Amino acid sequence: MSDSMIEKVQGLLNTVSEDVNRLYDEALKNNETFLEALDDVAAHVFGLESVVAAIAKKYPIDADEAKAWLKANMDPDGQGTEKAEAVVDSLLGN
Protein backbone atom coordinates (compact mmCIF):
# COMPACT_ATOMS: atom_id res chain seq x y z
CA MET A 1 0.00 0.00 0.00
CA SER A 2 1.36 3.42 -0.90
CA ASP A 3 2.04 6.15 1.62
CA SER A 4 -0.76 8.32 0.24
CA MET A 5 -3.29 5.50 0.62
CA ILE A 6 -2.12 4.83 4.17
CA GLU A 7 -2.51 8.54 4.93
CA LYS A 8 -6.05 8.51 3.50
CA VAL A 9 -6.97 5.44 5.55
CA GLN A 10 -5.44 7.06 8.64
CA GLY A 11 -7.45 10.23 7.98
CA LEU A 12 -10.65 8.26 7.57
CA LEU A 13 -9.97 6.32 10.77
CA ASN A 14 -9.36 9.59 12.62
CA THR A 15 -12.67 10.94 11.28
CA VAL A 16 -14.51 7.80 12.35
CA SER A 17 -12.87 7.97 15.78
CA GLU A 18 -13.93 11.60 16.22
CA ASP A 19 -17.49 10.75 15.12
CA VAL A 20 -17.68 7.85 17.59
CA ASN A 21 -16.40 10.08 20.39
CA ARG A 22 -18.97 12.75 19.50
CA LEU A 23 -21.77 10.14 19.48
CA TYR A 24 -20.59 8.85 22.85
CA ASP A 25 -20.59 12.35 24.33
CA GLU A 26 -24.10 13.00 22.96
CA ALA A 27 -25.32 9.67 24.37
CA LEU A 28 -23.96 10.60 27.79
CA LYS A 29 -25.69 13.99 27.64
CA ASN A 30 -28.97 12.41 26.53
CA ASN A 31 -28.73 9.79 29.26
CA GLU A 32 -28.16 12.47 31.88
CA THR A 33 -31.14 14.47 30.61
CA PHE A 34 -33.31 11.35 30.66
CA LEU A 35 -32.27 10.48 34.22
CA GLU A 36 -33.01 14.02 35.40
CA ALA A 37 -36.47 13.86 33.81
CA LEU A 38 -37.08 10.44 35.36
CA ASP A 39 -36.08 11.83 38.75
CA ASP A 40 -38.60 14.67 38.30
CA VAL A 41 -41.35 12.19 37.41
CA ALA A 42 -40.51 10.06 40.44
CA ALA A 43 -40.65 13.11 42.71
CA HIS A 44 -44.09 14.02 41.35
CA VAL A 45 -45.37 10.46 41.76
CA PHE A 46 -44.14 10.24 45.34
CA GLY A 47 -45.62 13.64 46.12
CA LEU A 48 -48.98 12.59 44.71
CA GLU A 49 -48.82 9.28 46.57
CA SER A 50 -48.23 11.09 49.85
CA VAL A 51 -51.27 13.31 49.26
CA VAL A 52 -53.46 10.34 48.31
CA ALA A 53 -52.25 8.35 51.32
CA ALA A 54 -53.11 11.27 53.62
CA ILE A 55 -56.57 11.61 52.05
CA ALA A 56 -57.14 7.85 52.32
CA LYS A 57 -56.45 8.00 56.06
CA LYS A 58 -59.13 10.67 56.56
CA TYR A 59 -61.66 9.36 54.08
CA PRO A 60 -61.87 5.58 53.76
CA ILE A 61 -61.49 4.32 50.22
CA ASP A 62 -62.74 0.93 49.08
CA ALA A 63 -59.76 -0.86 47.55
CA ASP A 64 -62.04 -3.11 45.48
CA GLU A 65 -63.72 -0.07 43.90
CA ALA A 66 -60.34 1.44 43.07
CA LYS A 67 -59.19 -1.83 41.51
CA ALA A 68 -62.43 -2.15 39.54
CA TRP A 69 -61.80 1.35 38.17
CA LEU A 70 -58.29 0.29 37.12
CA LYS A 71 -59.61 -2.76 35.31
CA ALA A 72 -62.25 -0.68 33.54
CA ASN A 73 -59.86 2.11 32.51
CA MET A 74 -56.49 0.50 31.91
CA ASP A 75 -55.28 -1.49 28.95
CA PRO A 76 -57.97 -4.01 27.93
CA ASP A 77 -55.33 -6.75 27.97
CA GLY A 78 -54.69 -5.97 31.63
CA GLN A 79 -51.04 -5.13 31.07
CA GLY A 80 -49.76 -3.37 34.17
CA THR A 81 -52.97 -3.79 36.14
CA GLU A 82 -51.23 -5.96 38.74
CA LYS A 83 -48.66 -3.26 39.42
CA ALA A 84 -51.33 -0.58 39.70
CA GLU A 85 -53.33 -2.79 42.07
CA ALA A 86 -50.22 -3.23 44.22
CA VAL A 87 -49.94 0.57 44.40
CA VAL A 88 -53.59 0.75 45.52
CA ASP A 89 -52.86 -1.77 48.27
CA SER A 90 -49.75 0.13 49.30
CA LEU A 91 -51.50 3.50 49.43
CA LEU A 92 -54.42 2.10 51.39
CA GLY A 93 -52.21 0.16 53.80
CA ASN A 94 -53.43 -3.26 52.66
Return the percent helix, strand and coil in the chain, to nearest 5: 85, 0, 15
Across the range 6-10, mean pLDDT stands at 92
The Cα–Cα gap between 45 and 43 comes to 5
pLDDT tens-digit map of 36-52:
999 999 999 999 999 99
Mean pLDDT of the chain: 91
Per-residue pLDDT for 34 more than 90? yes
pTM over 0.75: no
What does the alpha-carbon distance between residue 41 and residue 74 come to, in Å, rounded to a whole number? 20
Q: Is 2's pLDDT higher than 90?
A: no
Q: Tell me, what's the pLDDT at 44?
A: 97
